[in-house]
C-alpha cells in the first residue's frame, strides 16, 4: 500500500476552482480540489460522480461530459432546474431574499412546494440560509435543519448562468451509487465522496438520504470501484481517515492522507483539524 501524508493545511490560492458551486454542502470537497487539484487528471473526458452533493467535482474539474447522480431526487431536480431555467429560478430566489427572516424561514421550511421550479427555489433558499448547508430530513422526509446566520440568498442575476451552461454537458440521474459506477468505462474518471463515518470512539454511520449508509454499503462501494478500475476507469474515493477504511482500501492503490480544518462547528475557534483520506485505485 502506498500511503502519502499531506500534513499542511493551507488556504486556497492560484489553484481555486474556476467556477464556484452554487450550493453550500456539509462535507463538500471544494477545499480538496482547490488545494490538491494536482492529484487528479488535468483533462477529463467523462466524469462519473455517484454522490454529487454540492457539485464540487463537476464544477472544479470541468469534464467534457459527466454522469452526475445522487439518491436525493430533490437535489437532482434542482440541478435540472438550474440547467433549464436559471433566470426563472433566480427570480424566485430574489423573492425569498426580500422576504427572508427567522419566522419566514421556518414557515417556508414547513411548506414544501410541489411545482418543480418552486420546489427547486425552495431547496436552494433553505440551503443558503440553513445551518452550515446541511441537508437533513426526519423520518417523515421533512427538511428539519435550523436557520443559520447567512442572509444573502442570491448574488446577482447572472449567478446561475455559467452553472446552467456547464450542466448541459451532464446526464443527471437519481440512483443508488452502484449502478452509476457500473456505467464507468475505460477513460472515465470516477470520483466517489460517500457519507463519512463519524469519528469518535465507536464508529457510527451517517445518513445516505433518509437511509443509513452502512458498512455493507462501504464494502459495496469499494467493490464497485474495483470493478470500474479493472474496466479501465481512473477511480478516486474519499472518506474519514479511520483505520477500518484505510484497511478496506489498503491493497487497492495509493492512499493520500490529507488534513483539513473542520467546518462542522458553528464557531471558528471551535473548528478542529480533521484527517481525511483520498484513495486513487490502481
Would you give per-residue pLDDT tens digits along the chain (282 residues)?
A: 565 655 433 333 334 466 889 998 888 999 999 999 999 999 999 999 999 999 999 999 999 999 999 999 999 999 999 999 999 999 999 999 999 999 999 999 999 999 999 999 999 999 999 998 888 888 788 899 999 998 889 878 899 999 999 999 999 999 999 999 999 999 999 999 998 865 544 444 454 444 678 899 999 999 999 999 999 999 999 999 999 999 999 999 999 999 876 655 455 454 556 889 999 999
Q: For strand 170-173 and strand 189-192, is the pairing parallel, antiparallel, or unpaired?
A: unpaired
- The answer to whether 19 and 59 are in contact (CB under 8 A) is yes
Domain boundaries, the chain: 2-71+175-281, 76-162
Class of domain 76-162: mainly alpha
0.75 surpassed by pTM: yes
Separation of first and last alpha carbons in the chain: 10
Q: Kindly state which CATH superfamily the domain 2-71+175-281 is placed in.
A: Vaccinia Virus protein VP39 (3.40.50.150)
- Count CB neighbours of 197 within 10 A: 19
What is the secondary structure of the chain as a DSSP string? -EEEEE-------TT--SS--SS--TT--HHHHHH-GGGS-SS-SEEEES--TT-HHHHHH--SEEEEE-S-HHHHHHHHHHHH-HHHHHHHHHHHHHH-SHHHHHHHHT----SHHHHHHHHHHHHHHBGGG---B-TTS-B-PPB-S-----S-TTTTHHHHHHHTTEEEE---HHHHHTT--TT-EEEE-PPPEE-SSS-EEPEETTEE--HHHHHHHHHHHHHHHHTT-EEEEEEE--HHHHHHHTTTEEEEEEEEE---SSSGGG--EEEEEEEEE-
Report d(CA 273, CA 263) in Å as an integer.
9
Amino acid at each position: 500500500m502506498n500511503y502519502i501524508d499531506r500534513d499542511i493545511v493551507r488556504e486556497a490560492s492560484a489553484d481555486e476552482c474556476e467556477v464556484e458551486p452554487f450550493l453550500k454542502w456539509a462535507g463538500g470537497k471544494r477545499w480538496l480540489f482547490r488545494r490538491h487539484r494536482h492529484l487528479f487528471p488535468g483533462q477529463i473526458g467523462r466524469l462519473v460522480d455517484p454522490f454529487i452533493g454540492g457539485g464540487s467535482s463537476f464544477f472544479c474539474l470541468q469534464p467534457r461530459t459527466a454522469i452526475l447522480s445522487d439518491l436525493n431526487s430533490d437535489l437532482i431536480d434542482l440541478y435540472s432546474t438550474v440547467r433549464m431555467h436559471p433566470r426563472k429560478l433566480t427570480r424566485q430566489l430574489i423573492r425569498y431574499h426580500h422576504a427572508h427572516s427567522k419566522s419566514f424561514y421556518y414557515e417556508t421550511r414547513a411548506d414544501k412546494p410541489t411545482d418543480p421550479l418552486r420546489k427547486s427555489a425552495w431547496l436552494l433558499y433553505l440551503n443558503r440560509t440553513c445551518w452550515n448547508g446541511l441537508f437533513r430530513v426526519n423520518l417523515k422526509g421533512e427538511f428539519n435543519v435550523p436557520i443559520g446566520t447567512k442572509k444573502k440568498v442570491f448574488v446577482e442575476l447572472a449567478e446561475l448562468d455559467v452553472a446552467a451552461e456547464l450542466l448541459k454537458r451532464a446526464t443527471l440521474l437519481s440512483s443508488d451509487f452502484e449502478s452509476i459506477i457500473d456505467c464507468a468505462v475505460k477513460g472515465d474518471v470516477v470520483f466517489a465522496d460517500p457519507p463519512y463515518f463519524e469519528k469518535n470512539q465507536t464508529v457510527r454511520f451517517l445518513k445516505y438520504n433518509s437511509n443509513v449508509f452502512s458498512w455493507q454499503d462501504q464494502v459495496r462501494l469499494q467493490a464497485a470501484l474495483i470493478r470500474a478500475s479493472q474496466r479501465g476507469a481512473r477511480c478516486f474515493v474519499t472518506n474519514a481517515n479511520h483505520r477500518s477504511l484505510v484497511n478496506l482500501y489498503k491493497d487497492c492503490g495509493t492512499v493520500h492522507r490529507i488534513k483539513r480544518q473542520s467546518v462542522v462547528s458553528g464557531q471558528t475557534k471551535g473548528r478542529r483539524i480533521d484527517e481525511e483520506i483520498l484513495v486513487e485505485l490502481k
